Structure formats: structure tokens, C-alpha cells
Amino acid sequence: MQKKNITKAAEALHIAQPSLSTQMKELEKELGATLFTRGRRQISLTETGYYLRDKAKEMIAIADQTEENILSSSMVTGTLKIGAGQSFAIDRIMKVIAKISETEKNVNFQFVDGNADEIEAQINAGTLDFGVIMGNRQLESFNSLILPERNEFVASFREDHPLSSKEKVTPEDLINYPIIISSQTLVNDKFHTWWGNLYKEINVLAKSNLAFNASLLTSNTNAVQITYQNLVDNHNLHLTSRPLSPKVTDPNVVIWKKNIHQSNLATLFLNELRNSLD
């Protein structure tokens, strides 16, 4: 309900307002649920209404993708949708895409940012063709391909930070400073183990899945950001980073849905990706 007004919504849909109001009431009656909150001047979706809207968007996206795949069954064409977190390992994926784009002119690519939980959910829903997952996860329900690149975690902080005098950063070094870390549970569990008995002494200032946004907070405080190496713009933000000791790394895994017929474009992408590993 983008317009938040029945009159404006009816105009956008090129139908009469009474007709739209009737259709909305009939839909609520058919589903046995209240989908809209009606005010004097505005109308908004209820929680159930938002749920229905999101599911409808997913169904439309799947239908569009299915139609596109059928129309392109004899040629390499269409859109390939890839979900991924932030990592320099994505460079391999981009090189594969660049190679495909040199020879296939009727294709395009859509990239979706998200954490592992979000990407897995969208793969299962059919709204993504491939996902790039960082970290050790249970992926038995997906087809998967492990990439050789690994993500190394580092401690990032201001250039004038007391830790800048150290070559490496240990768990003991961090107990005196606020910590910024990924909000994804798996990462927190990983560092729960890394800190060991010191975990209860750690002061977590903020959790974020967006490394750059978190780095802006890092540059304005004495906090230490735990992030992947090379994700943060150290120079412009006057930040520096140090490796962790013991070293902590994450694998990168490409996943896709099992037991589905892939489009020609998806098949080509997967073949080129595998060839890049030889």
C-alpha cells in the first residue's frame, strides 16, 4: 500500500475508487483476515497484510523468472540473481561474470546483499539462483562449491589507537576497548570460542552486518571493529588494522538449490566458475 490513500491508489491502478474498495473487502473476506488498517485520511497494511504483500512479491518474482527461463530455453539469455555478503572473495565471481558478458550479450546480472541466513532463505524461496555464503554452516540441503579464497578477520581501529603499536591483536588486548562485530550469530559464536574465558569481559558496543557503516563508528570512537581484511577504507577514515592472534578465517561457499532445472545462463555460470578453479 505505497500510496496510503485509496483514492490515489485507485488512480495509480486506473480503476474507480469504489471498485478498489470492494476488491479489498472481498479479499479480506476470502482470506478471513484483516489486511488493512483504515484511518480517516490514510490506509495502511496490518502485519498480516505485510506478510501477504511480501509473499505475493516472491510469487511474482518466481513467475517472472520461470517465464524468462522457458523463453530462453534454447539460448543463453535472461537474468542471473546472486546473493552474497561482503568479501573480497567475490572478485572471483565478478571475473566469471565479466568473461560471460564478453560473449553473451543478452544476459544481465542482479546482485543482492545479505547475510547467510537471508541468502539461504532466498535460495530456498527460489528468488535467488546462487548465493555466496561466508563461514562454516550446515549446507547439506544445498548444492555447494567451496572457493579457495578464505576471509581473514582483523581488528580495525583508529590510527592513533593504543593498539596500533602492536603487530597482532590477542583476546587479552581487546578486553579494555568497546567492540564492534557482525550481528550474525555464527560470527559471534566463533569469537565466543576465540575469546574463551575472557568472553564475559568483552564490551560489545555495536553489532552490524555492514562493514563500511560500522567503520564510520570505529573512526569516531576508541572502539575496535572485528571485520574481514580489506573491507574497510582505512586510508580515508584514518583507520588501520592488525591480524588476530590466534588467526581466525572463514571459508567462502557458493550454494544453489538442489533438484531444480537450471537455466542455460545458470549452467554456463556454474561451468565457468568451476573452470576458474582448475
Q: Which amino acid type is present at position 121?
A: A
Q: Are strands 43-45 and 36-38 parallel, antiparallel or unpaired?
A: antiparallel
CATH number of 6-65: 1.10.10.10
Asked: is 150-249 a CATH 3.30.160.110 domain? The reply is: no
The CATH number of the structural domain formed by 70-149+251-276 is 3.40.190.10
* Grid coordinates belonging to 70: 522457458
36: amino acid identity, one letter: F
Which stretches in the chain have pLDDT values below 70? 1-4, 68-74, 185-186
pLDDT at 243: 97
For residue 158, the cross-strand partners are 239
Whose grid coordinates read 573452470?
275
* Euclidean distance between CA atoms 208 and 146, whole angstroms: 25
Cα angle, residue 193 at apex, residues 188 and 197 outer, rounded to 5°:
115
Q: Are 255 and 142 in contact (CB under 8 A)?
A: yes
Name the pairing type of β-strands 43-45 and 78-84.
Answer: unpaired
**Could you count the other beta carbons within 10 Å of the beta carbon of residue 80?**
20
> What pLDDT is attached to residue 2?
54
In this structure, what DSSP letter does residue 159 have?
T
CA distance 209 to 253: 18
Question: In this structure, is the dihedral angle defined by the CA atoms of residues 92, 98, 104 and 110, taken in order, positive or negative?
Answer: positive
Query: Which residues contact residue 198 at a Cβ distance below 8 angstroms, ignoring those fewer than 6 apart?
Result: 171, 172, 175
Measured distance CA(187)–CA(137) in Å, rounded = 11
Inter-residue contact 224 to 178 (CB < 8 Å): yes
Same-fold call for 70-149+251-276 versus 150-249: yes
Q: Tell how far CA 150 is from the center of its chain.
A: 18
Cross-strand partners of 13 = none
Confidence (pTM)? 0.71
For 187-238, how does the pLDDT look when each residue is reduced to its tens digit (9 = 90+)? 778 888 999 999 889 999 999 888 889 999 999 999 999 999 988 877 788 9
263 secondary structure, DSSP code: P
Domain ranges of the chain: 6-65, 70-149+251-276, 150-249
Instruction: Map residue 65 onto helix, strand or coil.
Output: helix
Distance (Å, whole) CA 218 – CA 120: 30
Show Cβ contacts of residue 144 under 8 Å, excluding neighbours closer than 6 positions: 253, 254, 255, 256
DSSP 92: H
C-alpha cell at 266: 545458470
